[in-house]
Amino acid sequence: MNSGPSQGGSTSNQLAGTATRTRLSVVPHRFSTDEGHANGVSRPRIKVLVVGGHQLLADSLAIALASHPELEVVGTETDTALAPMRIRHNEPDVVLLNNFLASSDCADIINRLRLEAPDVKVIVLTSSSSDDDEELLACVQAGASGHQTTDRQPTELVDSIKRVHAGELVFAPNVLVNLVTRPRIPRPPRMTDVATQPLAPRELQVLQTVATGMSTGEAATSLGITVHTVRAHLKNVMTKLQAHSKLEAVIFALKKGLIQLPE
């Protein structure tokens, strides 16, 4: 007669223990999810490392991103001095860099991260758009692929991660304006007095969409062409302008008056 309640209590204790272990499993892979493999989907997830800021913010970001099936948060590192080592160990595709660094320089950290992993994409996180100051611009020149504010919805951050991973730039137009107009931000040395080839009208149109912040898909829809064609045009643009990146090509075209930012 007592066997039923006893077994029920044992099951309850096991479930409680499992829940406790789940909550306390504070290791990098706690942020992973197998949902990306559901229904036969085998596309590799985008590996994300959260760097900088305080631990509560870093963990909150990681937990928020973990629910997305296309992402795998491989860890957090609040000590920026250890970030290069974490990149070697975790091999992330994208780094979210919290720009709340009391004793470190954001641009210097990006330089060190990209020295360790040249292909890693870096998104700089700031508290608000009002933080788009010279430090943020220096981060852009150091190789940041995007900028996002922490007051945005998690879905917007997920979209930014996916876009930079795909090779796109994610910056508000006002950041690009500052890059072009601030005299103390030097022009990329390789873009000085280089012999460039003229851009075709369609290539200029595609580059204009990048400057306005459109994604590759949005640019394709706007211009009535395929995503593959958009990417082909951007590749041609970078070759003709001898630019290292799309951002470098955009800055050069803006300075030359080939394209314009929206009002």
Contacts of 28 (CB under 8 A, 6+ apart): 73, 74, 75, 76, 90
d(CA 214, CA 70): 21
Sheet holding 46-51, edge to edge: 71-77, 46-51, 94-98, 121-126, 146-149
Predicted confidence at residue 35, as pLDDT, reads: 40
d(CA 63, CA 52): 16
What residue ranges define each of the domains in the chain, with the CATH number in brackets? 28-181 (3.40.50.2300), 189-256 (1.10.10.10)
Q: Report whether pLDDT(221) > 90.
A: yes
Assign 245 a pLDDT band (cuts: 50, 70, 90): confident
d(CA 227, CA 168): 12
Of 50-59, 177-186, 239-248, which gets the smallest average pLDDT?
Answer: 177-186
Neighbouring CB atoms inside 10 A of 102's CB total: 4
Q: pTM, whole model, 2 decimals?
A: 0.65
Of 3-7, 34-38, 230-234, 236-240, which gets the smallest average pLDDT?
Answer: 34-38
**What is the CB-side half-sphere exposure of residue 82 using CA atoms within 13 A?**
12
Q: Report whether pLDDT(214) > 50.
A: yes
pLDDT, averaged across the chain = 76
